[in-house]
Amino acid sequence: MEEFNLMINGESVATTDHFEVINPADKSVIARAPKATTEQLNDAVAAAKAAFPAWSALTYAQRRDLLMQLADAVEANGEELMTLLTKEQGKPTKGFADLGAGFEFGGTLAWIRATASMELTPETIQDNETARIELHRKPLGVVGSITPWNYPLLIGIWHIIPALLTGNTVVMKPSEMTPLTVLRFAEIAKDILPAGVLNVVTGEGDIGAAMTSHEDIDKIVFTGSTPTGKAIMKSAADNLTRLTLELGGNDAGIVLADADIEACAPKIFATSFINNGQTCAALKRLYVHESVHDELCDALANMARSMKTGNGFDEDTDFGPLQNKQQLDIVKTLAQDAKERGANFLCGGEATDETGYFYPITLVNNIDDGARLVDEEQFGPILPIIKFTDVEEAIASANRLQVGLGGSVWSQDLEKAQSIAARLECGTVWINNHAMIQPDAPFGGVKDSGFGVEFGETGLKEFTSIQTMQISKS
């Protein structure tokens, strides 16, 4: 069985202990991943700290050149990386609307190249006969990155590339559920980046906890659940470690009476079930005006019934398994609660293939606020559809939960849609779309969905501190 190693100071480092990585499509063990010790984490942080002075002294152009070389090397190893993604995460190679491993890999390349093309330049606040005042952005030091299992490679890139571009060094811990693609990425990177600039340690929760309280880590970037994000805040407090937290969501979409159902149904379906629903900003609660409710339910159900859930390596598979048993159990529990409340299952609702962590695309209506399926983030292939009469009720429902990652409004009246969108309490709001992100548009949550932003110039600034330079002329 293949074994992987840690990446510390540009070297492949073996461990005494390992943990098994499971293929969610057949529950088989696909590899043994290295279980880092606290001492090895300390070595990784020390390596990053030692590499920081030289790396931060490079110009943006010099760092950009290395990151572009990294993108080329990643692209050259695309087939292997996509295969690993399907093995450990479960997503199909292509899948529905080509939103599988190839989509994640393509996004990875796009994000590296787009982000590496950016730059933060000094700003002039004042320049007169008295003084010149400039605002400079300086790197923070060592950045700790903790990433989830739904997009192992892509979210890792979201953390790593802006940190490196702005002159920081990185210690990264991927999810223990999906560490392999990131470890392979680190092997590729070590031949391009200076030693110590990027380090990857793998293990379980104890390693993540040690990172968040580490006195030599200057910033933590975390994507994951709200409870874990709150624990990280507490752990980081003693060192005043800076944080960017992209936490859980339960995105609401509001479909108005004038929505073009034929046009919006495919988009609603795709953005609800992207990555089998295992996407932070997927559409997870759908509020539909009573006048178009039945038409939209029929359109979505017809699409759902044509989908195949299966092994990601099968060419005709649209959706793979849930990534892990815990997530499958959450989906089953929420579905059972909905059944007990008398909800109507338009399709799906029962796991019929126990060879892997499979659950069919499921649509549920005749359900209201207060049901667990509506109030709790399902993070899986099951969508509640709630009928409304008054748009004010829909807005209140969308805003009533203590999460605020994304939201959407669906209407042919763009002016009306914008006025409603502006009232939604979320970090990103879409009109006639959902879950669409890009490297130059800031993305982040409000309320219990976290704070700080990623992407674009605003996201780059999260990895820097401000130094105001005043030059007296008299």
**Predicted confidence (pLDDT) per residue in 200-212, tens digit:** 999 999 999 999 9
Answer yes or no: do 265 and 314 share one domain.
yes
- The answer to whether position 306 is within a domain reads yes
CATH number of the domain encompassing residue 353: 3.40.309.10
Answer yes or no: do 228 and 270 share one domain.
no
- The answer to whether position 444 is within a domain reads no
Angle at 344 between CA 338 and CA 348, to 5 degrees: 85
pLDDT at 346: 98
Answer yes or no: do 234 and 380 share one domain.
no
Answer yes or no: do 334 and 207 share one domain.
no
Confidence grade of residue 3 (pLDDT, cut at 50, 70, 90)? confident
Phi and psi for 406 in degrees, rounded to 5? Answer: -140, 170
Confidence grade of residue 430 (pLDDT, cut at 50, 70, 90)? very high
State the catalytic residue, choosing from 264, 280, 297, 426.
280
Distances (CA, A) of 224 to 109, 201, 335, 456, 474: 22, 18, 23, 21, 52
pLDDT at 92: 98
Residues 6+ apart with CB under 8 A from 230: none
- Decide if 246 is catalytic: yes
- The answer to whether position 133 is within a domain reads yes
Is residue 381 a contact partner of residue 276, using CB atoms and an 8 Å limit? yes
Domain that holds residue 292: 251-439
Answer yes or no: do 332 and 230 share one domain.
no
CA distance 425 to 449: 11
- The answer to whether position 1 is within a domain reads no
Asked if residue 189 has pLDDT above 90, the reply is: yes
Is residue 129 a contact partner of residue 95, using CB atoms and an 8 Å limit? no
**Predicted confidence (pLDDT) per residue in 302-332, tens digit:** 999 999 999 999 999 999 999 999 999 999 9
Q: How many CB atoms lie within 10 A of CB 133?
A: 16
Summarize the confidence of residues 352-362 as an average pLDDT: 96
- Decide if 426 is catalytic: no
Answer yes or no: do 57 and 193 share one domain.
yes
Is residue 302 a contact partner of residue 444, using CB atoms and an 8 Å limit? no
Summarize the confidence of residues 389-413 as an average pLDDT: 98
**Predicted confidence (pLDDT) per residue in 218-257, tens digit:** 999 999 999 999 999 999 999 999 999 999 999 999 999 9
Confidence grade of residue 474 (pLDDT, cut at 50, 70, 90)? confident
Summarize the confidence of residues 39-64 as an average pLDDT: 98
- The answer to whether position 319 is within a domain reads yes
- The answer to whether position 166 is within a domain reads yes
Number of structural domains (the chain) is: 2
Answer yes or no: do 228 and 268 share one domain.
no
Is residue 326 a contact partner of residue 333, using CB atoms and an 8 Å limit? no
Q: Identify the residue with better confidence: 3 or 301.
A: 301
pLDDT at 84: 98
Average pLDDT over the chain, rounded to an integer: 97
Confidence grade of residue 131 (pLDDT, cut at 50, 70, 90)? very high
Answer yes or no: do 48 and 172 share one domain.
yes
State the catalytic residue, choosing from 88, 104, 176, 246.
246
Answer yes or no: do 331 and 461 share one domain.
no
- The answer to whether position 328 is within a domain reads yes
- Compute the half-sphere exposure of residue 76: CA atoms within 13 Å on the CB side of its CA: 8
pLDDT at 147: 98
- The answer to whether position 157 is within a domain reads yes
Tokens standing for 418?
Answer: 């914008």
Answer yes or no: do 225 and 345 share one domain.
no
Summarize the confidence of residues 11-19 as an average pLDDT: 97
Confidence grade of residue 450 (pLDDT, cut at 50, 70, 90)? very high
**Predicted confidence (pLDDT) per residue in 266-290, tens digit:** 999 999 999 999 999 999 999 999 9
Q: Where are the alpha helices (DSSP H) in 238-323?
A: 261-273, 290-305
Answer yes or no: do 259 and 240 share one domain.
no
Confidence grade of residue 2 (pLDDT, cut at 50, 70, 90)? confident
Answer yes or no: do 50 and 174 share one domain.
yes
CA distance 202 to 51: 20
CATH number of the domain encompassing residue 148: 3.40.605.10
Confidence grade of residue 352 (pLDDT, cut at 50, 70, 90)? confident
Summarize the confidence of residues 172-190 as an average pLDDT: 98
